[in-house]
Structure 1
Amino acid sequence: MARVIVDVLPKAEILDPQGQAVARAMGRLGVTGVADVRQGKHFVLEVDDDVSDAELERIAGTLLANPVMEEWVVRRGSTVSDGAQA
Structure 2
Amino acid sequence: MPTIVVDVMPKAELLDPQGKAVSGAFARLGVEGFSGVRIGKRFELAVDGEVTEELLAEARRVADEVLSNSVIEDVVGVEVVE
Q: What range describes the TM-score normalised by the shorter chain of this pair?
A: 0.7 to 0.9
CA distance in 1, matches of 2:72, 2:20: 17
Listed as ranges, the gaps of 5+ residues in structure 1 are 79-86
Matched residues, number: 78
Secondary structure of the residue that 1:7 maps to in structure 2? strand
TM, length-normalised to structure 1 = 0.82
CA-based RMSD: 1.4
Runs of at least 4 residues of structure 1 off by over 6 A?
A: none
Using the aligned pairs only, state the percent identity: 49
TM-score (norm 2): 0.85
Which one-letter code corresponds to 1:53 in the other structure?
L
For structure 2, list consecutive stretches of 5 or more residues without a partner in the other structure. Answer: none
CA offsets per residue over residues 7-34 of structure 1, 9 Å max, x none?
1110100110000000000000000111
Larger RCO: Structure 1 or Structure 2 (Cα < 8 Å, ≥ 6 residues apart)? 2
